Structure 1
């Protein structure tokens, strides 16, 4: 009897899987959602970070000194890899307008009598502002500036010491050694680009899940319903897992990144992560009145994921309420584990723990939607 039930369940799952796979292969919308648009977007983002970081970001320079030293600062900053300096003759007001509108990402201001104050030992301060709303572009446009100022300080300290006839006091020799995970030392390939890949995958998975469910009213006729539902979603679970592996492989092959852990661990976590993301799409579809509302709430989901996944703000610096929200979001657990595999490698026990956490999401979702979903599929907006 039990064997007969298992065979019947497998036939239902297999039939639903095959029907969905054939229907999905004939749908241009699903082709765009499952691989064309994700790969196009991944390619465009990768092109921005082709050198490992952002290069030649436009910044403005306001030079009120017009001396050899001020021109040297501007010239050397422009010679660096991160900044492309544009001298603004119209004044600081226009530069501030362009800074707010992201026509430039930073503003270098050199005050009057700058060189004279330097040679007199009065320690004037050229200032480099950046637009904090554009965190990546704004911050990285300033990367060459600290080293430039440090070099000038060392050069002119020697000049002033010679002029006054006193040697500089000896400085302490300090060696600073650190290893940073949150700040990826300027390399976007290992941090922002990898994180963006994981983030965008969730967006497409949730959207695709809602779209597939909205066009499959015939699902109600299948018995058992739960296995038929799993069969409908399984082709996309496999497809998005393969897509994630292809994108990570592209990072390794074309961007020079290196996976330090076991790639098979990434496959396991990626598969469980896609299922968790599908469960979010299933929840949005089930507990909204219409498809438009479900699609609209995806924007809220993306905002929460970006804010609380540890990318914009480290989780340890969040208040307790925010940390709870971060740990409810499956992206947080998947992202941390994938980062560990990508950057340093983790044990099989840790991978099993993360996979177990991610599997809890579809299990909890199945419990929540078991009665509501069949009613939702009777809706007038379902085809």
Structure 2
């Protein structure tokens, strides 16, 4: 208890370190959760141009508003009128019903509904594209069933003619397309990696003159963020996200992740001996974690430079372990292989310790 009190006094005297270790993990974690708590994009505003004004175009309008993904925010009389709102993201898409829409359907000529959407917002664009495709598919089925029902006077026969092939598409590992599950499981570990690295730099602000002093700072900082990491895993599990594998293996991965990233910091600081330069280098090193971790962009599609950078980040191996254990319930042998790969980062602490020792004797 005396040691804990001394540690608490030590941290409270260093405001930035206290902020990094105890305040920012909660604030940033809460902020990220609040951003993605809706789980999936809903009620995205779009524009609507109806150049036909018939009962069929009214059905299209009703189907769009019935979709949980989008709703008609503004009605326009022309494309030019909607151009500015689309460019400023007041609306994310514009649906256009052409003239003679109903007439072309009744004559069997085929009718076209245009959808212009802002593909700059990749997530929103994909959600709107998928939702609009479902709306068009439903309308096509309704029209086909109606025509066949007039000819056959039998609902089952009319339905089988309208849709001769039924698809059975079964989503695995995040069946609800929950974007929070997809992003939080990556953002929170990346946040912990960056905060742990910055806290380690702060601990090395005063140069350690013994291996014991260096080791205590290294292990102490790693333990603090390991505890936050375990809280993160329990939080994700409490949200109902998959955890088909071993929680113990994930905790082992978190332990090596924190020891590895802190070891890299020790190595860099032992060379630079300048906190400002070290923070700059660590920022460059850890900031691209989100892009190179292999979740938002697959590693097998990266070029050689990106792949090397990805492998040089301990978070990449941890995310591989997390996906294997949480989503797939992978084997212990596969997990151990990843953990052994992560152990390479522990070498940096050994090298940093040697450099500090050599400089002490000089």
TM range (shorter): 0.7 to 0.9
Contact 1:58-1:141 within 8 A present in 2 as well: no
Structure 2: 5+ residue stretches without partners: none
Question: Which residue of structure 2 aligns with residue 81 of structure 1?
Answer: 68
Is 1:274 aligned to residue 258 of structure 2? yes
C-alpha displacement of 1:303: 5.0
How many residues get paired?
A: 355
**For residues 63 and 366 of structure 1, what CA distance do their matches in structure 2 show?**
69
Distance 1:23 1:342 in 2: 37
Q: Distance in 2 between matches of 1:75 and 1:102?
A: 23
Instruction: Write the deviation string for residues 265-284 of structure 1: whole angstroms up to 9, x where unpaired.
Output: 21111111112222343355
Matched, 1:213 2:200: no
For 1:58-94, what per-residue CA distance to the aligned partner results, in whole angstroms no more than 9, with x for missing partners? 3333444333333433333233322243115385456
How far residue 337 of structure 1 moved from its aligned partner, in angstroms, is: 0.7
The aligned runs of 1:69-108 (5 Å cut-off) are 69-89=56-76, 91-93=78-80, 95-108=82-95
Q: Decide whether aligned partners of structure 1 residues 18 and 82 sit closer, same or farther in structure 2, where only a CA change above 3 A counts.
A: same
Unpaired stretches in structure 1, ≥5 consecutive residues: 1-15, 379-383
**Equivalence for 1:6:** none
Q: Secondary structure at 2:72's aligned position in 1? A: strand
**Does the 8 Å contact 1:279/1:365 carry over to 2?**
yes
CA distance 1:298–1:282, change in 2 (3 Å): same
SS of the equivalent of 1:331 reads helix
**1:103 offset after TM fit, Å?**
4.1
Instruction: Give the SS at the match of 1:58.
Output: strand
TM-score norm. by structure 1 comes to 0.77
- Report what 1:131 is aligned to: 118
What SS class does the counterpart of residue 245 from structure 2 fall into? Answer: coil
- In structure 2, the partner of 1:4 is none
Q: Secondary structure at the match of 2:45?
A: strand
1:1-383 alignment, distance < 5 Å? 22-89=9-76, 91-93=78-80, 95-161=82-148, 169=161, 172-173=164-165, 175-176=167-168, 180=172, 185-214=176-205, 216-217=206-207, 219-220=208-209, 222=210, 225=211, 227-253=212-238, 255-286=239-270, 290-302=274-286, 304-364=288-348, 366-367=350-351, 370-371=354-355
Q: TM-score, normalised by structure 2?
A: 0.81
Task: Report the Cα distance in structure 1 between the residues aligned to 2:122 and 2:48, rounded to whole angstroms.
Answer: 20
CA RMSD of aligned residues (A): 3.6
Contact 1:270–1:334 at 8 Å: present in 2 too? Answer: yes
- Tell me if structure 2 keeps the 8 A contact 1:195–1:311: yes
3-state SS, counterpart of residue 59 of structure 1: strand
